[in-house]
Structures are given as structure tokens and as C-alpha cells.
């Protein structure tokens, strides 16, 4: 039996009461966690944040980019940060920064005192930003729901989970249920009861053959719905030599001149995927010529 591939599925109930988005993100999260060498609670929270960024993008800006950042405490050493970056082509990536001076084995703690910041691109090219406190016991899921309610003014029920096993990520996924204006008391009560079965999303994801479609069908069991669309998901980084050169070109001219005078090859590593780029003095000199 082939393991289901990562995808996101969108649907709406026939009565127009709910919009539902489900996602399986196992391989996407595996790729990001492997590159970041994340383990334990940090790996789990990064996986949940990546899944959450995908769900928010699909709900609010499917054709644009969404970035989610969690700032939390890394033990007693200060602030640690998790970053999830989701793009409209279905690719996502993640980043772990434990902060300067973090002790070996430190984790990014997510809970009371943690902040969730979400930035999404608007059609105009401008950024919409929102920052909320993560509930003391709500974790990433609770932070995402708080963000949707306070920053987007959209009542949504969200759950994300990443399961870790002896070999790393066993499964990862989540769902978003958005209440539409047409919702009535009856369907709302049914959905509320139904979601109680999904309070432990990890139990659903742990089943062999779990997929975005299976999650959707389980979530809306007994509720007629229309499946709208689906899209593939994957881990990928958007770094490139062109982007590296563009970043260097944005530096003050004097800084570039000093690097040229130094005469050394620059070694630049992408924090998201670990790919190394070498920039020669002649390449740096070309930036001065074209500036």
C-alpha cells in the first residue's frame, strides 16, 4: 500500500455553514526538520507551525505567501524562534533559531509568554501582520485560532499535530474549520460535537493510510459537503545564487567595496536548507559595476 502523499484539500458543507481545509504534511515536515536537525519538542512545534502556516495561507491568501513566526523561551537562556514559510506553489520550509548562548539540548518552549506573528502578502504587494500571545495551554493550535479571531476577525477552529517516532516524524497534518455567515444553531452544535472527536488529532493521524481526504471525510462524517479542490504540498527552499547576489547588491556600496578589497571568496549558507554558496571577488566587483 502506497503511503498518501502530502496535500491540502478544500471543501464547503452543502448548507453553506462551514468551510473546511485539511492537510497532510508528513513529508513536508520531515524535510524541514531534517535540515534543521531539530529533535523532540522543538521538532514537534516546528512541524505544527509549518502545517499551521499552510492552513492559514489556504484560508486567507492561497495565491500568496504566508510566514508564521513563534517566539518562545529556550529554557533559561533567552528567546528562541521558530519560522514557517508557506508559498502558493505548495512548497514550505522551516527554521529553528535557539538564540545566542543556548545550552546544548535547549528547546523552543511554546506556551504562556510565547508570541505568534503571522505575515501574509496582500494582492497589492503590501504585508498584513498580526501578533498574538499563544494561550498558556493551547499550543500552536491555540495560537493559530487566536490569530484568526483577533487579527483576521474570522472565527475558525484549528488543530495541528506532528507525531514523532523512533525514526523521526511519523505523521503530520491538521485542519481548519471556518464558520460562515450562513451557519445556524443546529449545524453549529453538530460540528461542535464532531470536533470533540478530533481534540486528539494525533490519534487520527496515527492511523495507517491517513490522508487529507480521509481527514476531511472523518471530520464531516454525516454532513453533506462539496469537495472544492486539492493541491500537492512539499518541502522546498527558494534560495538561489540569484537571490544571494540580490541580497549582496542591497548592501551599502562601501561594504561591498571592502569585501572586494579583502579578496576572499565569500561562503554563504542558507539557514533554511543548508545549501552553500560561494561568491568570488569578481562577482562582487560586478555589483559595483552595475550599481
pLDDT in tens, 216-236: 998 888 889 999 999 999 999
Edge-to-edge, what's the strand order for the sheet holding 156-165? 156-165, 168-179, 18-24, 7-13, 225-232
Highest mean pLDDT among 47-56, 148-157, 179-188, 237-246: 47-56
Confidence label for 189 from pLDDT (cuts 50, 70 and 90): low
Cα distances (Å, whole numbers) of residue 49 to 162, 208, 234: 9, 23, 15
Q: Is the whole model's pTM more than 0.95, yes or no?
A: no
pLDDT at residue 102 in the model: 65
Cα separations (Å) of 50 from 28, 164, 286?
Answer: 8, 15, 38
**Which tens digits make up the pLDDT trace of 250-266?**
888 888 888 888 888 88
**Distance between CA atoms of residues 220 and 226, nearest Å:** 11
Alpha carbon distance, N-terminus to C-terminus of the chain: 57
CB 201 within 8 A of CB 161: yes
Q: For the beta carbon of residue 224, count every other beta carbon within 10 angstroms.
A: 8
56: its cell numbers: 492559514
Cβ–Cβ under 8 Å, residues 59 and 119: no
Grid cell digits, residue 192: 461542535
DSSP-derived pairing of the beta strands 168-179 and 18-24: antiparallel
pLDDT over threshold 90, residue 117 = yes
Assess contact for 177 and 148: CB atoms under 8 A.
no
Q: Residue 135 has what DSSP assignment?
A: P
**Position 166 confidence tier, pLDDT thresholds 50, 70, 90:** confident
Q: Residue 132 has what pLDDT?
A: 93
- The DSSP secondary-structure symbol of 111 reads S
pLDDT value at residue 184: 67
Q: Which residues contact 137 (CB under 8 A, 6 or more apart)?
A: 111
pLDDT tens for each residue of 122-146: 888 788 899 999 988 888 999 999 9
Higher pLDDT, residue 203 or 87: 87
Residue 190 has pLDDT above 80, yes or no: no
Sheet holding 115-121, edge to edge: 127-133, 115-121, 66-73, 79-86, 91-97, 234-235
- Give yes or no for a contact between 13 and 223, defined as CB atoms under 8 angstroms apart: yes
Amino acid at each position: 500500500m502506497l503511503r498518501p502523499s502530502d496535500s491540502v484539500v478544500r471543501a464547503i458543507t452543502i448548507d453553506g455553514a462551514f468551510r473546511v481545509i485539511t492537510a497532510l504534511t508528513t513529508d513536508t515536515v520531515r524535510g524541514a526538520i531534517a535540515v534543521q536537525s531539530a529533535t523532540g519538542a522543538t521538532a514537534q512545534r516546528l512541524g505544527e507551525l509549518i502545517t499551521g502556516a499552510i492552513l492559514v495561507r489556504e484560508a486567507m491568501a492561497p495565491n500568496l505567501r504566508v510566514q508564521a513566526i513563534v517566539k518562545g523561551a529556550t529554557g533559561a537562556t533567552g528567546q528562541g524562534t521558530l519560522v514557517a514559510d508557506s508559498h502558493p506553489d505548495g512548497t514550505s520550509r522551516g527554521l529553528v533559531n535557539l538564540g545566542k548562548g543556548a545550552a546544548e539540548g535547549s528547546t523552543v518552549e511554546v506556551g504562556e509568554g510565547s508570541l505568534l506573528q503571522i505575515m501574509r502578502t496582500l494582492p497589492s504587494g503590501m504585508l498584513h501582520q498580526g501578533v498574538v500571545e499563544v494561550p498558556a495551554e493551547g499550543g500552536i493550535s491555540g495560537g493559530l485560532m487566536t490569530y484568526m479571531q483577533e487579527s483576521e476577525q474570522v472565527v475558525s477552529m484549528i488543530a495541528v499535530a506532528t507525531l514523532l517516532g523512533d525514526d523521526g516524524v511519523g505523521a503530520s497534518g491538521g485542519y481548519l474549520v471556518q464558520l460562515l455567515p450562513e451557519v445556524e444553531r443546529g449545524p453549529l452544535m453538530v460540528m461542535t460535537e464532531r470536533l470533540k472527536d478530533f481534540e486528539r488529532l494525533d490519534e487520527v493521524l496515527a492511523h495507517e493510510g491517513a490522508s487529507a481526504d480521509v481527514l476531511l471525510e472523518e471530520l464531516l462524517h454525516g454532513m453533506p459537503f462539496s469537495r472544492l479542490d486539492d493541491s500537492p504540498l512539499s518541502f522546498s527552499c527558494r534560495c538561489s545564487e540569484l537571490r544571494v547576489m540580490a541580497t549582496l547588491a542591497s548592501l551599502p556600496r562601501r561594504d561591498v567595496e571592502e569585501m572586494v578589497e579583502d579578496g576572499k571568496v565569500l561562503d554563504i549558507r542558507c539557514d533554511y536548507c543548508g545549501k552553500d554558496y560561494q561568491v568570488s571577488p569578481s562577482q562582487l566587483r560586478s555589483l559595483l559595476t552595475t550599481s
